[in-house]
Structure 1
Amino acid sequence: MEKLFKLKQNGTNIQTEVYAGFTTFLTMVYIIAVNPVILSSAGVPFDQVFMATIISAVVGTLIMAFFANYPIAIAPGMGLNAYFATVVASEGLSYQVIFGAVFLAGLLFILLSLTNLRETLIKAIPSSLKYGITAGVGLFIAFLGLRMSGIVQDDEANLVALGDLHQGVPLLTIVGLFVTLILLALNVKGALFVGMILTGVIGFFTNQLSFDGVVSVPPTPVFFDVDIGGVFSQGLYAVVFVFLLITLFDTTGTMVGVGEQAGFIKDGKLPRARAALMADAVATTTGSAFGTSPSTAYIESAAGVGAGGRTGLTSLVVGILFILSMFFSPVVAAISNLPAITAPVLIIVGSFMMEGLARIDWKSFDEAFPAFAIILTMPLTSSIATGIAVGFITYPLLKLVSGKGKQVHWVLYLFAIIFLIQMIFFPVH
């Protein structure tokens, strides 16, 4: 362990790394319950998503452990799963076709991770758009949590309205939300996971939650239930691009953020970045082959770093715990059937994604409005792709007419044209 993960060189030890691994796992284990809830709404069988979520998390996290030697965990990303579900629902396509889009996005991500094109793409897209996309996705998944719990419901006059808070599920959601908020305010480790457990306990004693068992043999994984040909026949190139774009920014941003916290960033660069990005790319491709949306580096890894994690041993522990979790599918299935347990997580994670808004120059109109357009459009159209398209079209346009066209990278002009054509002729609703 010492030689493999260079523990002394990184100023840590086995005990600290194991503790950090448990800490990271507890902060992100909610995904094995939340992800099946979201993707099953698109028709993907619960057991298939459950196993695919764990498999992709294990594959990505172990690659991160052994090849990048970073305490960063990988799992299917929030927001991307919601986008997956909305594309399936709005386009009337089979989930197999969208898995094909994810698979192709994963292959492209692998290729990008082997080249310098990734750096070009990241540098070309301005920070205001990156922060706007993250915030827009945050509002999108928070709104999803409000709707699935019944706190907000459809309304003909005003599109949406307050639901009946006297009903069991909305009421339990509110209780669970405040319980989790209190745990976060008290800096309780694994607050999101502990909040789910406490909400589940309340649901059990109020007869809203029942179990058909606790431990069972893991469900049989479904391999390559994917329709790649459908991606081309349906012209879903924009969908592939959106999956690739969000995963690229999300992963890179998380790695830089966690890297800075842990002191890994040297001269503005993250050592072994190529291996770290490859972990996410392979996890996305593998996950799609088994039945889940794209994977990404988890910002919750910062909790493990805060607990002292500095090497891949932390990630190894996370991977092992994910493997063990596959034996508890009855518990996860029961939790997933009660939206009040998972909805507070969606709402709170959505709030976490607002952080970047403080870094947008709101006094500069040509920087502020494209970000605002993204943030406004995503939740109101229930389409992450539409929000990104609006931002990428308005940003170069405003810069061009304000005499700042030379400040915009040529790649952005190319994206603007592509998105404009896509919105006119191939709209993704």
Structure 2
Amino acid sequence: MFLEKFFSLKENGTNVRTELVAGITTFFTMVYIIIVNPALLGSIGIPFEQVFMATVIAAVTGTLIMGLFAKFPIAIAPGMGLNAYFASVVGAHGLSYQTVFGTVFVAGLLFLLISVTSLRQLIVEAIPNSLKYGITSGIGLFIAFIGLKNSGIVVPNEANFITLGDLHEPVTILSIFGLFFTLILMARNVKGAIFIGMIVTAVIGYFTGLLNFEKQILSMPPVPVFFDLDIAGVFTNGLYSVVFAFLLVTIFDTTGTLIGVTEQAGLTKNGKIPRVRQAFLGDAAATTVGAMFGTSPSTAYIESSTGVAAGGRTGLTAVVVAILFALSIFFSPLIAAIASLAAITAPVLIIVGCFMMEGLAKIDWKKFDEAFPAFAIILTMPLTSSISTGIAIGFITYPLMKLFSGYGKKVHPIIYIFGFIFMIQLVFFPAH
């Protein structure tokens, strides 16, 4: 069969059915972006329909490249945090969104240039194992926290910031049910347990009135048009730091997610990620194309780990996600309803967070100069709600710890360089 040979399904211990389920699982845990992104960017005056189509186009472009060329089960779409930063730049500097889209386009072109060279691959391979495992585990805690927060299991509290939520809330009750139902299926080794849990939770949500569908489930998609980019405004306004911020955050958001998901899926070989250059091209192309149609920078999605947990191991998972994104332009009312009920996706994020903690056992906790930078990443990611900030803290603390413990020469020079860059970025233009 063509799909089995092209994606090497047998060699990766998977099959078409498993990849299909994994793709569907990933899609439904990240599909919220095609609703949230247009709403967020629409708040600064960008037409909702324009951003909706741009979001889908960017997701399909990047995810297909990831699936067909890198052959990883990783999906790409406009990044949360990056879109918030985009909106804040428009508001804080009083710029037109056409000008800020120009910065995204320029950052995307630089991104493509870096991605076709060996620089990004060198960066990934230079990262020490303790930081890689710290990144994986930090992402796990981050997405588990998102699941807890979205479900209402934990809520903000003035005294200590976070506390247990109201367990009588209907959405919270349904989330807890979905969590334990899925855990039971997994304990019984039921294949596709995560996706089955999502479907059962959705059905219960529908019959209890928590999941509401509009009378119109299908709708014709808006016509996509090229956006009016103000590239000249990037230079006349001296927006170099904004371009650098977009570039830096996108690189390390994707790098962190790529490390985390490939490590979770067992796709790394001797600490290295195969076909890493092709993988990097996915988010670079999506960022550039997305800017042309009207959306903020794209990045690899941590929700891809839900598909890996469902058994996805090859690019076929990503291709399924891309196809579903393409079809979603006709089902926007239906998708909006599903994405709006946190109880469907929150249990998945919590469970996957557990899977991603496996790397903790591989960190040498007896070597403090190896352990603390990993600990700092794990601690920082969920508390700041930022993958890139967690990575930044790791890059800063690791070379410092090694330098003062007498092992500074063993640190790759690129780690020192980026540690310095990250200090500048965090102090002068944090992106989150």
Fold equivalence (TM over 0.5): yes
Gaps of 5+ in 1: none
Alpha carbons of structure 1 residues 321 and 81: separation in structure 2 relative to 1, 3 Å: closer
Runs of 5+ unmatched residues, structure 2: none
* Cα distance in structure 1, aligned partners of 2:118 and 2:425: 27
Deviation, structure 1 residue 382: 3.3
Indicate the residue corresponding to 1:123 in structure 2: 125
Cα offset for 1:189? 4.3
Matched, 1:405 2:387: no
| Rounded Cα–Cα distance in structure 1 between residues aligned with 2:139 and 2:6 | 40
Aligned to 2:298: 294
The secondary structure found in structure 2 opposite 1:335 is: helix
Between 1:133-142 and 1:364-373, the stretch displaced more is 133-142
Equivalent residue number for residue 181 of structure 2: 179
Q: Is the contact made by 1:53 and 1:75 (CA closer than 8 Å) also made in structure 2?
A: no
Q: Is contact 1:55–1:287 with CA below 8 Å preserved after alignment?
A: yes
TM-score between both structures, scaled by the size of structure 1: 0.78
| Aligned partner letter, 1:354 | M
Residue 132 of structure 1: how far off its partner (Å): 1.8
* Matched residue type, 1:233: L
State the match for 2:72 in structure 1: 72
SS in 2 for 1:347: helix
Whether the 8 Å contact between 2:256 and 2:388 is mirrored in structure 1 is: no
Q: Root-mean-square deviation (CA), in Å?
A: 4.0
350-359 or 232-241, which moves further after superposition?
232-241
Change over 3 Å in CA distance of 1:153–1:413 after alignment to 2: same
**1:330 is aligned to 2:330:** no
SS of structure 2 residue aligned to 1:278: helix
Identity of aligned residues (%): 52
Partners of 2:360 and 2:9 lie apart in 1 by: 35
* Partners of 2:88 and 2:290 in 1: CA distance: 23
* Cα offsets for 1:156-180 (capped at 9, x unmatched): 1111111111111211221122223
Task: State how 1:275-314 maps to structure 2 within 5 Å.
Answer: 275-287=278-290, 289-290=292-293, 291=295, 294-296=298-300, 298-299=304-305
Instruction: Give the distance between the partners of 2:38 and 2:112, measured in 1 at CA.
Output: 27
Contact 1:113-1:278 within 8 A present in 2 as well: yes
Alignment correspondent of 2:113: 111
Q: SS of the counterpart of 2:331? A: helix
**Does residue 369 of structure 1 match 2:376?**
no
Please identify, of 190-199 and 386-395, the stretch whose mean Cα deviation from structure 2 is larger.
190-199
How far does residue 405 in structure 1 lie from its aligned partner after superposition?
Answer: 0.7
2:241 alignment partner in structure 1 = 235
- Following the alignment from structure 1 to structure 2, what is the Cα–Cα distance between the partners of residues 170 and 120? 44
Q: 1:360 to 1:167 in 2, by over 3 A?
A: same
Aligned partners of 2:175 and 2:158: how far apart in 1? 24
The 5-angstrom pairing of residues 387-406 of structure 1 reads: 387-406=390-409
Partners of 2:305 and 2:245 lie apart in 1 by: 26
What is the deviation of 1:86?
A: 5.9
Shift of the 85–55 alpha-carbon distance from structure 1 to 2, 3 Å rule, reads closer
Query: Would the aligned equivalents of 2:256 and 2:391 in 1 still touch at CA under 8 Å?
Result: no
1:108 and 1:244 in contact (8 A); partners too: no
Q: Is the 8 A contact 2:63 2:321 kept in 1?
A: yes
User: Does the CA contact (< 8 Å) of 2:37 and 2:55 recur in 1?
Assistant: no
SS at match of 1:235: helix
Contact 1:57 1:76 survives alignment (8 Å): yes
Deviation string 1:336-388 (CA, Å, 9 cap, x unpaired) is 22222232233233333323222221111001101111211222233434323
Q: Residue 153 of structure 1 aligns to a residue in which SS?
A: strand
CA contact (8 A) 2:377 2:394 kept: yes
Deviation at 1:413, TM superposition (A): 1.5
Q: 1:43 to 1:347 in 2, by over 3 A?
A: farther
**Partners of 2:102 and 2:401 in 1: how far apart?**
35
**Secondary structure of the structure 2 residue equivalent to 1:7:** helix
Q: CA deviation at 1:65?
A: 5.7
C-alpha deviation, 1:116, in angstroms: 1.7
d(CA) in 1 for partners of 2:75, 2:228: 19
Identify the match of residue 349 of structure 1 among 352, 355, 380: 352
**How many angstroms apart in 2 are the aligned matches of 1:128 and 1:320?**
36
* Aligned equivalent of 1:154, options 156, 159, 164: 156
Partner of 1:27: 25
Once residues 122 and 144 of structure 1 are traced to their aligned partners in structure 2, the CA distance between those partners, rounded to angstroms, is: 26
Per-residue Cα deviation, 1:242-287 (whole angstroms, up to 9, x for no partner): 22123134336645775849xxx799784x6544543343234334
Amino acid at match of 1:328: F
How many residues align? The count is: 413
Q: 1:167 — aligned with what?
A: 169
Provide TM-score, normalisation by structure 2: 0.78
SS at 1:349 equivalent: helix
Alignment partner, residue 381 of structure 1: 384
Alpha carbons of structure 1 residues 28 and 385: separation in structure 2 relative to 1, 3 Å: closer
Asked if 1:359 is matched to 2:357, the reply is no
CA contact (8 A) 2:135 2:391 kept: yes
Q: Is the 8 A contact 1:215 1:329 kept in 2?
A: yes
Aligned partner letter, 1:294: S
| 1:28 Cα deviation from its structure 2 partner | 1.5
1:83 maps to what in 2? Answer: 81
Offset at residue 19 of structure 1 (A): 3.7
Between 341-350 and 171-180, the greater mean CA deviation after superposition: 341-350
- The structural deviation recorded for 1:398 is 0.9
Q: Cα 1:188–1:153, aligned 2, differ >3 Å: closer, same or farther?
A: same
